[in-house]
Amino acid sequence: MNEPEIKARVLEIIKSIAPELEEGELRADRPLRDQIDLDSMDWLNVLIAVHEKLHVDIPEADYGKLVTLDKLVAYLRDKLAQRAA
């Protein structure tokens, strides 16, 4: 799966949790949770959906690396590439 595909899947997941999200208003290089008001339960639901749909389990210790949409997508790209290798 390439990066644009991963990004589309992640946006789909976020939209299922925050349906009011306007993609055009989301800055991929700014902190994600502040922009779309994801509380800790919403965030956990995003990660559960990532686990179910992309089969990537993100440990809690890595949450700090996933602040922006760009960083989350890059993280998933690396994890998926590692698995494919």
Contacts to other proteins by CB under 8 A: 18-20, 37, 39-41, 44-45, 47-48, 50-51, 57-61
Nearer to other proteins, 3 or 57 (CB): 57
Q: Kindly write down the DSSP assignment for every residue of the chain, as one continuous string.
A: --HHHHHHHHHHHHHHH-TT--GGG--TTSBHHHHHT--HHHHHHHHHHHHHHH-----GGGGGG--BHHHHHHHHHHHHHHHH-
Q: In the complex with other proteins, which residue's Cβ is closer, 2 or 71? A: 71
CB of 44 to other proteins, least distance (A): 6
Minimum separation from the CB atom of position 21 to other proteins (A): 10
Closest approach of other proteins to the CB of residue 70, in Å = 21
Which residues sit opposite 71 in a β-bridge? none
